[in-house]
Amino acid sequence: MSGLAAVLSGRRAPGIEHWHSALAVPDVRHAVEHAGWGFGHLDGWTRADTKAGFLEAVGETLGFPDHYGRNFDALADCLHDVGAGTAGVLLLWDGWATLARSDERAFSIALSVLGSRVAADRGVPFAVLLRGDGPVVPGITSLD
């Protein structure tokens, strides 16, 4: 868990990264929340395997308001407010490859929108971990 610990402690800048850990989701949640970060788990195996499924699931996972429009512009808008009152927010995306393979364009846009929030200097770090195997994604490094 050293890569994760480095992100949570601020020794490594948050980003969108591959992560191949086999830790159970409750154990990851515990480590993240123990560090004062907010945690969201996106299950791409069952809920986020389509564009609509991803947009619905990420909104629920990150606690977006009822007026969330479930499109990429609304995702970008709602990500502005993610993490208030926390040391940061970590989104663990299991099964990301299902969307990457079924709708490459939607996956690319999703990464772009999430990456814009990662790069934004809002005072609250935001990290996305793509857990598990999948197609090569240019520019995405490994947290392991």
Q: What is the pLDDT of residues 31-60, one digit of tens each?
A: 999 999 999 999 999 888 899 999 999 999
Residue type, 90: L
Backbone angles phi, psi at 106, to 5 degrees: -60, -40
Token duo for residue 83: 């993490």
Task: Give the pLDDT confidence score for residue 134 in this predicted structure.
Answer: 93
Token duo for residue 84: 């208030």
pLDDT in tens, 69-95: 999 999 999 998 888 889 999 999 999
CATH 3.30.420.40 fits 26-138, yes or no: no
H or E stretch at 24: none
| Order of strands across the sheet that contains 141-142 | 38-43, 89-94, 126-131, 16-19, 141-142
